[in-house]
Structure 1
Amino acid sequence: MGRDNQPKARQLARKDKKETRRASYARILIVTEGSKTEPLYFEDIRSAYQLHSANVAVQPGLLGTAPTQVVNYARKLFEEGDLHRGIRPRSFDQVYAVFDRDEHDSYFDALNLAKSLDGKLRNDSNDCVSFKAIASVPCFELWLLLHFEDVHAPLHRDEVTERLKQHIPDYQKGTRGIFANTRAALDAATQRAQALSAKFNAYTIPEPFTAVHELVARLTTLRD
């Protein structure tokens, strides 16, 4: 019996050791609609700013790509954890659900669901948890496009991608190194996104909007 329990004991010991290596800054869980582009982008930021993987976890949604499914998976992952991915239950201070307006029927429901969860969940320290929707209208690529040019009028996602490829010719879903390739223009993109946020919000579709700059700013200043 003792020998049978040894592997599990070693696994728990390794996970407990990882917990003790967490840095003192906030613990953030990011769940994305996309399975490639967005996770790679945020993982690149985590790596570039040397954020501990025990503090910043990035996971694609596993319940589906509809916005409500992304929000529900973010809640499920926060509450139940996933030890196979090194995520303990309720081990975060902030949760972000990243999704697009695109043509999703559940988009507005997802915004409202995220809002209803904000401050209502408690973590392993019994603190209220911030739960935020990071929406883009029409899509995440708008944030990338803002690194290169202003956008003032509504665009279809295909047009966003077409214009983005004028600046990044080899861009496609799952392209690696996007953060590194756009980092020099991060301040310009943030200013453009803030200008859009001053006029529009996640509900004022089809007007262009993205809140990705808010999450990027949170990550890039997390250790300050």
Structure 2
Amino acid sequence: MARDNSPKERQKKQLERKQGRRASYDRILIVSEGSKTEPLYFSEIRAAYRLHTANVEVRRSEPGTAPIQVVQYAKELFEYGDRHKNIQPRAFEQVYAVFDRDDHRSYFDALGLAESLDGILRNDAKQAVTFRAIASVPSFELWLLLHFEDIQTPMHRDEVMRRLRQHIIGYEKGAGRAFATTRERLEVATQRAERLAERFTCYTDPEPYTGIVALVKLLITLKA
């Protein structure tokens, strides 16, 4: 019997081999508002803890930075995949849309849309998919600042940046190494963020809040 060596068959076998090499933990898709800062931060964590790249996919929101665009793109990327990025349709058990409160008009709509999708979508194994918004009030940099200061009151994003730069000299969005710079203070930041979460939620704007802590804890506890 002749061996089928067609391009379609080779592609199928390559996919099967890739899936066979995938680690045993859930496949996770992270889509962020930021084009560099957040993707670099989560990619740093992935590298630091040797998380399998076939399991943890980190992407920026290509359509735009508005929260509703982030959530919609995360949904579309999950449902349809992207062959140019080697992302297969419905190839995840968990999807996270990461965005800031800032002054975005679509912020609360994005939170609502994410909630409506949680447990509704089905992946390639016919399993219900976790779909969560990971929001920060006012911004992602609050999470970094918590590594150095115990923030308890509302703060504008510009003030967050000013104070963060007092601790990380020359900090700029997208510069990279944010995780490496703050890693030794991760435990105290986690405690501070969790105390904030006991008082506030992503809905209690303008009170300080960050859901980044939950996603970071998830990633660092995965088994490589």
TM-score band, normalised by shorter chain: over 0.9
TM-score (ref. length: structure 2): 0.95
Letter in 1 for 2:74: A
Q: Is residue 133 of structure 1 aligned with residue 129 of structure 2?
A: no
In 1: Cα distance, 2:82 partner to 2:12 partner:
13
Identity of matched residues, %: 62
Q: Is residue 56 of structure 1 aligned with residue 47 of structure 2?
A: no
TM-score (ref. length: structure 1): 0.95
In 1: Cα distance, 2:115 partner to 2:211 partner:
14
After TM superposition, the structure 1 = structure 2 runs for residues 208-223 of structure 1, keeping only pairs within 5 Å, are: 208-223=208-223
Any idea what the Cα deviations from partners look like across 1:14-40, whole Å, max 9, x if unmatched? 333212210101110000000000000
Q: Is residue 45 of structure 1 aligned with residue 50 of structure 2?
A: no
Is the 1:118–1:130 Cα contact (8 Å) retained in structure 2? yes
Is the 1:44–1:179 Cα contact (8 Å) retained in structure 2? yes
Which residue does 1:69 correspond to in 2? 69
4+ long deviations beyond 6 Å: none
* 1:9 CA drift (Å): 5.2
Which residue does 1:31 correspond to in 2? 31
Q: Which runs of 5+ in 2 are unaligned?
A: none
Is the 1:15–1:86 Cα contact (8 Å) retained in structure 2? no
Change (3 A) 1:6 1:66: same
In 2: Cα distance, 1:47 partner to 1:147 partner:
20
Q: Which runs of 5+ in 1 are unaligned?
A: none
In 2: Cα distance, 1:13 partner to 1:59 partner:
26
In 1: Cα distance, 2:154 partner to 2:33 partner:
21
Which residue does 1:183 correspond to in 2? 183
After TM superposition, the structure 1 = structure 2 runs for residues 136-147 of structure 1, keeping only pairs within 5 Å, are: 136-147=136-147
In 2: Cα distance, 1:11 partner to 1:47 partner:
27
Q: Is residue 169 of structure 1 aligned with residue 133 of structure 2?
A: no
In 1: Cα distance, 2:84 partner to 2:19 partner:
15
Letter in 1 for 2:141: E
In 1: Cα distance, 2:171 partner to 2:118 partner:
34
In 2: Cα distance, 1:133 partner to 1:26 partner:
18
* 1:7 CA drift (Å): 5.5
Any idea what the Cα deviations from partners look like across 1:37-65, whole Å, max 9, x if unmatched? 00000000001110011000000011111
How many residue pairs get aligned? The number is 220
